[in-house]
Amino acid sequence: MSGARDTILGSIRKSLKRGPLSAEQAARLEHRLKTPRANVIPARARVSGRRRTDLFVDEAERVSTTVARVADAAGVPGAIASYLAEHNLPATLKVAPDPALKTIPWSEKPVLSVVEGRGEDGDAVSVTGAFAGVAETGTLVLLSGPEHPSTLNLLPETHIVVLRRDHLVGSYEDAWALLRVMGRGMPRTVTMVTGPSRTADIEQTLQLGAHGPRRLHIVLIGGAEDDAE
């Protein structure tokens, strides 16, 4: 197999009419990788405060995500219960073992039955947190890990995401910057989710819920009072 590696690298260098990069050239590439710079960022993404929230909600709704807003964590069970009732969905939730979700007073809505764990076939509704929401395109950034099994994003027909308003960022680059600040490297998966699963493979007619969730619902925590810039 090392034969193939050498052949391919050799063929690349032959086509580029050069040998391996010099130490200086290699250092330049390493520098580019170590100090990542953003390219053009659309002006649309460079907003903050209330305008950022509004943009996120607008863009999310454009792609058939639904958004409910609550003032604080205490409002989450009520918002979820009424969403489920409105859509005639079962009130059994598979909830991610996320410390932030543990602070939600689920017991205040006894109609909700809450089970923690990863996603399984047959789960109807999942609830997870989100690392960030990107206003630019109404995109959720979900990191896999013990507190967020990625099957929860995929298997249930309805995926509910509890997102804190102060986790909203403008651009994808802002999300990368946050991820680097955390300093834990790349999780196994970073999934950017923009709307519920869909396909247009049959006669170019859009159908939601191809393999993943049919419904993506965001409960956005953060009241009007923190709308100051």
Partner 1 sequence: MQITTPSFKDNARRALGDSDLRRALDNMKTGFVGKRLLAVERLPEFDALRDDARDIKEHVLENLDAYLERFEARVKEQGGQVHWCRDADEARRVMLEICRDAGARTVTKSKSMIGEEIAINEHLEANGIEPVETDLGEYIIQLRREPPSHIIAPAIHLSKEQVADAFRQKHGQFPGDRPLDEPRALVDEARAVLRQRYFDADVGITGANMLVAETGSVVIVTNEGNADLTMTLPPVHIVLASIEKVVPTLEDAATILRVLARSATGQEMSVYTTFCTGPRRSGDADGPEAFHVVLLDNGRSALLGGEFHDILRCIRCGACLNHCPVYSAIGGHAYGWVYPGPMGAVLTPGLIGLEQAADLPNATTFCGKCEEVCPMRIPLPKMMRYWRDREFEARLTPTLSRLGLAAWTFLALRPALYRVATGLVIGILGALGRNRGRFRRLPLAGGWTAARDLPAPQGRTFMRLWAQRRRGRP
What binding mask, one character per residue, do residues 63-92 give for partner 1 by CB under 8 A, x or -? x-----------------------------
For partner 1, the closer of residues 186 and 228 by Cβ is 186
Instruction: Report the distance separating Cα 101 and Cα 203, nearest Å.
Output: 41
Minimum Å distance from CB 81 to partner 1?
A: 26
144 to 45, 60, 212: CA distances (angstroms): 25, 21, 16
For partner 1, the closer of residues 7 and 82 by Cβ is 7
Instruction: Report the distance separating Cα 117 and Cα 111, nearest Å.
Output: 19
111 binds partner 1 (CB under 8 A): no
Q: List the structure tokens of 174.
A: 């802002």
Nearest to 132 by CA among 114, 116, 119, 148: 148
Candidate list 53, 76, 95, 119; residue touching partner 1; CB under 8 A: 119
61 binds partner 1 (CB under 8 A): no
17 binds partner 1 (CB under 8 A): yes
Side-chain half-sphere CA neighbours of 48 within 13 A: 4
Q: Environment class of residue 132 by beta-carbon count within 10 Å: exposed (0-12), middle (13-18) or buried (19+)?
A: buried
Hey, which residues between 145 and 164 contact partner 1 (CB under 8 A)?
145-146, 149-151, 153-155
> Which span sits near partner 1 by CB under 8 A: 36-44, 48-56, 76-84, 219-227?
36-44
173 binds partner 1 (CB under 8 A): yes
